[in-house]
Amino acid sequence: MTLSIAQLIETHRGENFSLHERHLNSQMVRVLRTIGYDRLYTHAEGPYLYDGENNRYLDLLSGFGVFALGRNHPTVKTALKEVLELDLPDLVQMDVSLLSGLLADKLVKLTPAPLTKLFFCNSGAEAVEAAIKFARYTTGRSRILYCEHAFHGLTMGALALNGEEIFRQGFGPLLPDCDAIPFNDLGALEQALQTRETAAFIVEPIQGKGVNLPADDYLAEAARLCHRYGTLFVADEIQAGLGRTGKLWAIEHWGVEPDMLLMAKALSGGFIPVGAVAMTAHVMDKVFNRMDRAVVHGSTFSKNNMAMAAGLATLEVIEAENLLDNAARQGEAMVSELNALAERYEFFKGARGKGLMIALDFGKPTSLKLKTAWNLLETANKGLFSQMVTIPLFKRHRILSQVAGHGMNVVKFLPPLVISDSDRAWVVRAMDEVLEDCHKVPGAIWDLGKTLAGHAMKAKKSA
Ligand SMILES: Cc1ncc(COP(=O)(O)O)c(C=O)c1O
């Protein structure tokens, strides 16, 4: 009998949580059950997930940003089916494949002019690891600068560039010679660069944790400073790139020319793990400088045909469906419509962002009763209020979103770039209702708040 995946899913329907509890990360199961996110999704299309009762959920999380095209996009599916049907020779290794050449050619045309070479890998973190190695080899220097609150992935090298202690704790010692500087601080950057020991400055054009936007002159000036001191400027576009901010690359908003540009997440339409480093010929030619070094960096599955075909299809969809324009237009309208709510709700300080990378800020209210309630949550754990927003947004309004980082009262929306006017109206209406409920003290949302505070206190005690 041949294996049928459809049959397997049917036979074991509903066993997701028990299987994960037994064999995978059981803490994740606990978290989902505690906050009521333990749904059984059965199918997905575009920006929507569906459960067994055919309830529709709007996904503003996009699998942490991989579903820029929405889920199960037919053009990417067709490309993948074609690759399978063609019985192509894949991963020959002692060969160079056509599809990776074509994707590289396409990407080079779409990245800033000095970037003419591509290195493919299988994830964002792998792109970061490659950038660290390439920068060290190219410059002959070891030090890497990164920003406070940065997130570049969770492998050992990338972790050494992580700006949040919670991710690093207990995994040390990490890569030496990696130093954090404040984001948006050109003085600190120049001071750090002056010793001429820095191989690279790696920066997210818009920081994912907290959705921190750069000052208008920050990135271009940072690149100029790097070049003055012989340091490579690396733009980590793994989250903000490929249309998320309304331009293909976030750095285009500020006219920056990096030495390396990192991409991953949305590149394969969310189907196949993929990552890439676009770089200058100078970097590529330094690292791969002799025949005996032709395989000095790489990864077995990189450049696989499925990932490359999905990448080609994804770039075509972004263009054919005008997704950059839609991201810019929907993002601007969503921020402005959400900001209109801020006038009515004390807890809500407003929305901000670029394209469809959007942050909602919450903060201390002015009236006494609300202030007391806020203080109770903040004392239990900083940032709990934002969870008190995302949970009813999900449970009552079927909108999946996330808190923007540890210990901050910021909610982040990363919708697929295909969302429509009616999806946007769904979000604004739901936020209006959730905010209205948050301002009812006591009320159902504050009962949830008390439960969250209880859990947080317990976790603190056992830490
Ligand atoms: C800016 C940035 N860089 C790197 C990464 C790591 O990517 P991956 O999870 O594919 O390793 C992420 C993931 O969230 C990211 O947002």
Residue 345 Cα, ligand 1 centroid: separation in angstroms?
34
C-alpha dihedral (118, 122, 123, 128), degrees to nearest 10: -50
Ligand 1, closest atom to CA 153?
6
Nearest Cα residue to atom 13 of ligand 1: 153
* DSSP, res 43: E
303 is catalytic: no
Of 236, 259, 361, 423, catalytic: 236
Residue pair 399/431 in contact (Cβ under 8 Å)? The answer is no
Residue 275 Cα, ligand 1 centroid: separation in angstroms?
10
DSSP string, 222-261: HHHHHHHTT-EEEEE-TTTTTTTTSSSSGGGGGT---SEE
Nearest Cα residue to atom 8 of ligand 1: 124
- Ligand 1 pocket residues where CB is under 6 Å: 64, 123-125, 128, 151-153, 204, 208, 236, 238-239, 264
151 is catalytic: yes
440 is catalytic: no
Of 120, 151, 271, 394, catalytic: 151
Which of 61, 129, 238, 406 best tests ligand 1's pocket when mutated (most atoms within 8 Å of CB)? 238
Residue pair 83/309 in contact (Cβ under 8 Å)? The answer is yes
User: CA 195 → CA 127, 175, 191, 201, 284, distances in Å?
Assistant: 27, 20, 8, 14, 25
pLDDT tens digits for the chain (463 residues)? Answer: 799 999 999 999 999 999 999 999 999 999 999 999 999 999 999 999 999 999 999 999 999 999 999 999 999 999 999 999 999 999 999 999 999 999 999 999 999 999 999 999 999 999 999 999 999 999 999 999 999 999 999 999 999 999 999 999 999 999 999 999 999 999 999 999 999 999 999 999 999 999 999 999 999 999 999 999 999 999 999 999 999 999 999 999 999 999 999 999 999 999 999 999 999 999 999 999 999 999 999 999 999 999 999 999 999 999 999 999 999 999 999 999 999 999 999 999 999 999 999 999 999 999 998 999 999 888 888 999 999 999 999 999 999 999 999 999 999 999 999 999 999 999 999 999 999 999 998 888 888 888 888 888 887 777 7
